[in-house]
Structure 1
């Protein structure tokens, strides 16, 4: 079903354990969302045998998340890009900056009035793009865009795989309402029938 809106943009800082597994801090609002574009790059391999394709493998390699936002704010800019805030509360960006990966969550409104919810488990952001324009005869809004590389998690889920995205549609059959209501209170951890999760 088509989506007609976007809101509730959150991020959660990641702490890596000694074995490389991730734990997430409590999610906090990032900014007001204007747009989100997610593109995915796959690693592909084809095995040829008996003069034809015998096996084809397509696996997630990485992705790109481009967010149009109203204003990133000092704290979020520091958390996402590695910039620092000086003693006068001025954001200082240096050539040595490089933020740590974070989890990013948001939701998109569907045409039926319900929402599709997302968590991207590891996103490493670059420096936000700044677009400025002089005031003319008409009002033009200039807003920042921030782009990040989407990576898979280090931690295995209950099926022994490395997830990179969690996505759920509100109102789908079998979706527990508690999953929807708690979506932004913590980063979603996969749970499977055998009782194991990524925790």
Structure 2
């Protein structure tokens, strides 16, 4: 089913323990969403045998998330990009800035009025891109965009796999109402029965 909207763009900061496993803070609004473009890069291997492809393996390698937003508040920019907010509330970017990864969530409205919800578990952003134009005969908006690299998270689920994305559609068979109502209260943790249990 087609999507006809995008909203509720949130982020959650990440803290890591000694082994690198993530703990997520309470999600906070990032900005008003204009666009979200998600592209994925796969690692692929093909085994040829008897003059043909015998086995094909495709695994998630990384991804890119490009967000078009209405505005990026200095406090949010500091948390997303590693820039510093100085004592005068001026955002200062340095060549030594190092962004820490965050989790990102948004939802897309479907043509039936229901929503598909997303969590990207580990995204590391670069400083935002800005395009500015002088005012001419007509008014045109200039809005920032920010691009991040999507990575798998370090924390494995119960079968030892490392999620990079969670996605659910409201009203789909078997989806609990609680899953949807809790989506922005905390970063979604997969509930998976271990294999063989």
| The two structures share one fold, judged by TM-score above 0.5 | yes
- Write the mapping of 1:122-133 to structure 2, written as runs, cut at 5 A: 122-133=122-133
Distance 1:25 1:184 in 2: 11
CA shift digits 1:145-170 (9 cap, x unpaired): 00000000111112211100000000
Task: Give the corresponding residue for 1:35.
Answer: 35
Task: Give the corresponding residue for 1:89.
Answer: 89
Task: Give the corresponding residue for 2:152.
Answer: 152
Distance 2:88 2:192 in 1: 49
CA shift digits 1:81-120 (9 cap, x unpaired): 0000111111101111121000000000000000000000
Distance 2:165 2:194 in 1: 21
Q: State the shift of 1:50 in Å.
A: 1.9
Checking the alignment, whether the CA contact within 8 Å between 2:44 and 2:56 is kept in structure 1 is yes
Normalised by the length of structure 1, the TM-score is: 0.96
- Gap regions ≥5 residues in structure 2: none
Q: How many residues align?
A: 195
CA RMSD of aligned residues (A): 1.1
Q: State the shift of 1:193 in Å.
A: 3.3
Secondary structure, aligned partner of 1:41: strand
Task: Give the corresponding residue for 1:188.
Answer: 188
Normalised by the length of structure 2, the TM-score is: 0.97
CA shift digits 1:53-96 (9 cap, x unpaired): 11100000000000000111011100010000111111101111
Checking the alignment, whether the CA contact within 8 Å between 2:42 and 2:62 is kept in structure 1 is yes
- Gap regions ≥5 residues in structure 1: none
CA shift digits 1:29-58 (9 cap, x unpaired): 000000000000000001112222111000
Secondary structure, aligned partner of 1:180: helix
Task: Give the corresponding residue for 1:111.
Answer: 111
Checking the alignment, whether the CA contact within 8 Å between 2:64 and 2:148 is kept in structure 1 is yes
Task: Give the corresponding residue for 1:53.
Answer: 53
Distance 2:194 2:123 in 1: 29
